[in-house]
């Protein structure tokens, strides 16, 4: 589902759906975060993350999600990405 990141942390993110999709609590979401612009090529072009909807805006198009089942590598790359965003 095309969407936009509204906020990002190492624990989760706030998302908005572009396509008029309505989320439900506990939906599983796959996120492909483009990291190539901020991180070195060894980290790849995208960081793939799994997340679960935890908080739901009343309209259903904005959700707070928490990242699930992150490997040590995913955690490290996400932390580096967030730190690069902060330093911009």
Q: How far apart are CA 37 and CA 29, in angstroms?
A: 23
pLDDT of residue 20: 78
pLDDT of residue 22: 84
> Positive or negative, the Cα torsion across 58, 63, 64, 65?
positive
The secondary structure of residue 87, as a DSSP letter, is H
pLDDT of residue 48: 95
Residue count of the chain, please give it: 88
From 25, 29, 86, select the one nearest 58 (Cα to Cα): 25
Mean pLDDT of the 20-35 span:
89
pLDDT tens figures, 33-81:
999 999 988 999 999 999 999 999 998 889 999 999 999 999 999 999 9
Opening angle at CA 22, ends 21 and 28, nearest 5: 95
pTM, to two decimals: 0.86
């Amino acid at each position: 589902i095309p969407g936009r990141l509204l906020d990002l942390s190492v624990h989760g993110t706030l998302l908005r759906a572009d396509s008029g999709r309505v989320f439900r609590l506990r939906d599983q979401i796959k996120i492909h975060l483009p990291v190539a612009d901020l991180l070195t090529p060894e980290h790849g072009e995208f960081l793939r993350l799994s997340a679960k909807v935890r908080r739901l805006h009343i309209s259903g198009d904005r959700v707070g999600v928490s990242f699930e089942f992150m490997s040590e590598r995913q955690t490290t790359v996400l932390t580096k990405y967030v730190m690069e965003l902060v330093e911009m």
